[in-house]
């Protein structure tokens, strides 16, 4: 069996050494020593002035929306070509998603379609750096500035990515990272918010702890989204090895590209890497368009051969059953996103995927051609 991904883990001894001190301190959560150390390490790694750790990426995103002080029922322009979390966070925080179509070259929000979606109720833009491809940040920011809109990035896929010398953590008003087990960098479950305005640090720290400011002052109707010490210790260990992990993913990506890069009907998104740009190889998305077999046929054939690929992202969030009949879902006009969702398949990619395994996967994909 080849799974679509495989969580990065440090050596067992390395993790044991990292958590040993907790048997002396008995300090297991609530911004302990491991939490503080990981937060400092991540600020440095992501080259960002402010970072607040979370129990997971989704709750971080909900707090990011809450802290922007958006009006109840305000419209947030976003993409339906994403994981459930992005759209759910908007709806759960009392706002209304307005779906914008995507750019077929990198699967991120098509900034040229933004203006036509802005109304007097629009209060924010929430784009996603899909598969680690950084959004069209300059165009998005200039439209946001023109209309006075907040920009919240779902950077769950973009850990360690750098575009034109700028870290993925430093775009917009706030960026959410996920450290879920399936991501390039993991803390088992986990996440973080990164942002330029340092005055938000305190607010996020309070929001993730029930809104408690001190033992007698509760200033927000906050939830509980604190990262615990075992998660932070996992992060400290994994962060030591993340560059090596990304390098191994880059090698695997290049083997795939060699085998699938010049095949009629297989489209691979372009990646730019140079002294100012770095990719993280979080996923290996393939668009089957005029290949002779459909995406579903290829996916089934892989499964019959013990290889698990993922229809990521399919279906569009605007087609979810939980949103059926709602105006914002019915009004969605995103033909490019729908086209991509029907044809996209992410093939297995993780640091320890071997060249032989990639060759086997590609043989199954290309069989009959």
Ligand X SMILES: *Cc1c(COP(=O)(O)O)cnc(C)c1O
Q: Which residues bind ligand X (CB under 6 A)?
A: 56-58, 82-83, 85-86, 128, 154, 156-157, 178, 180, 191
For residues 56 and 209, which CB has a smaller minimum distance to ligand X in the complex? Answer: 56
State how far the Cα of 1 lies from the Cα of 14, in Å rounded to an integer.
28
Cis peptide upstream of residue 122 (ω within 30 degrees of 0): no
For residues 179 and 256, which CB has a smaller minimum distance to ligand X in the complex? Answer: 179
Residues pairing with 209 in the sheet: 224
To ligand X, the closest distance from the beta carbon of 157 in angstroms equals 6
To ligand X, the closest distance from the beta carbon of 261 in angstroms equals 25
Which position's Cβ is nearest ligand X? 57
In the block, which residue shows the tokens 């067992």? 12
For residues 180 and 295, which CB has a smaller minimum distance to ligand X in the complex? Answer: 180
Angle (deg, nearest 10), helices 229-260 and 355-366 = 50
To ligand X, the closest distance from the beta carbon of 115 in angstroms equals 24
For residues 85 and 318, which CB has a smaller minimum distance to ligand X in the complex? Answer: 85
The first and second tokens of residue 290, run together, are: 């005029």
State how far the Cα of 336 lies from the Cα of 325, in Å rounded to an integer.
22
To ligand X, the closest distance from the beta carbon of 63 in angstroms equals 12
Collapse the DSSP code of 58 into the 3-class scheme (helix H, G, I; strand E, B; otherwise coil) and give the result: helix
For residues 291 and 314, which CB has a smaller minimum distance to ligand X in the complex? Answer: 314
Selection from 82, 153, 141, 96 nearest residue 344 by Cα: 82
Q: Are 68 and 173 in contact (CB under 8 A)?
A: yes
Q: Are 93 and 85 in contact (CB under 8 A)?
A: no
For residues 174 and 259, which CB has a smaller minimum distance to ligand X in the complex? Answer: 174
To ligand X, the closest distance from the beta carbon of 55 in angstroms equals 9
Collapse the DSSP code of 46 into the 3-class scheme (helix H, G, I; strand E, B; otherwise coil) and give the result: coil
To ligand X, the closest distance from the beta carbon of 368 in angstroms equals 33
State how far the Cα of 177 lies from the Cα of 191, in Å rounded to an integer.
5
């Amino acid at each position: 069996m080849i799974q679509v991904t495989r969580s990065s883990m440090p050596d067992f001894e390395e993790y044991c050494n990292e958590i040993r001190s907790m048997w002396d301190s008995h300090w297991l959560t609530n911004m302990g020593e491991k939490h503080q150390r990981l937060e400092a390490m991540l600020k440095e790694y992501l080259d960002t002035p402010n970072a607040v750790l979370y129990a997971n990426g989704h709750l971080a995103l909900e707090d990011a929306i809450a802290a922007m002080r958006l009006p109840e029922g305000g419209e947030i322009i976003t993409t339906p070509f994403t994981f459930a979390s992005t759209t759910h966070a908007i709806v759960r925080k009392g706002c209304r998603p307005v779906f914008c179509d995507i750019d077929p070259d990198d699967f991120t929000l098509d900034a040229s379609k933004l203006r036509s979606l802005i109304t007097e109720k629009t209060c924010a833009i929430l784009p996603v750096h899909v598969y680690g491809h950084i959004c069209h940040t300059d165009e998005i920011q200039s439209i946001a500035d023109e209309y006075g809109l907040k920009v919240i990035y779902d950077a769950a896929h973009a850990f360690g990515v750098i575009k034109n010398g700028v870290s993925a953590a430093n775009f917009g008003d706030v960026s959410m990272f996920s450290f879920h087990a399936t991501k390039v960098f993991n803390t088992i479950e986990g996440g973080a918010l990164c942002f330029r305005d340092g005055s938000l640090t305190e607010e996020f720290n309070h929001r993730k702890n029930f809104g408690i400011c001190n033992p007698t002052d509760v200033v927000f109707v906050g939830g509980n989204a604190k990262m615990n010490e075992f998660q932070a210790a996992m992060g400290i260990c994994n962060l030591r090895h993340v560059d090596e992990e990304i390098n191994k993913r880059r090698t695997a990506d290049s083997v795939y590209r060699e085998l699938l890069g010049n095949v009629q009907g297989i489209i691979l998104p372009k990646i730019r890497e140079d002294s100012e740009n770095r990719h993280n190889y979080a996923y290996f998305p393939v668009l089957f368009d005029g290949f002779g077999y459909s995406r579903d046929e290829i996916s089934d054939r892989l499964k019959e051969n013990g290889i698990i690929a993922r229809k990521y992202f399919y279906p569009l969030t605007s087609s979810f059953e939980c949103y059926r009949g709602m105006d914002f879902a019915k009004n969605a006009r995103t033909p490019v996103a729908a086209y991509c969702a029907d044809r996209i398949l992410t093939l297995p990619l993780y640091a320890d995927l071997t060249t032989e395994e990639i060759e086997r996967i590609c043989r199954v994909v290309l069989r009959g051609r």
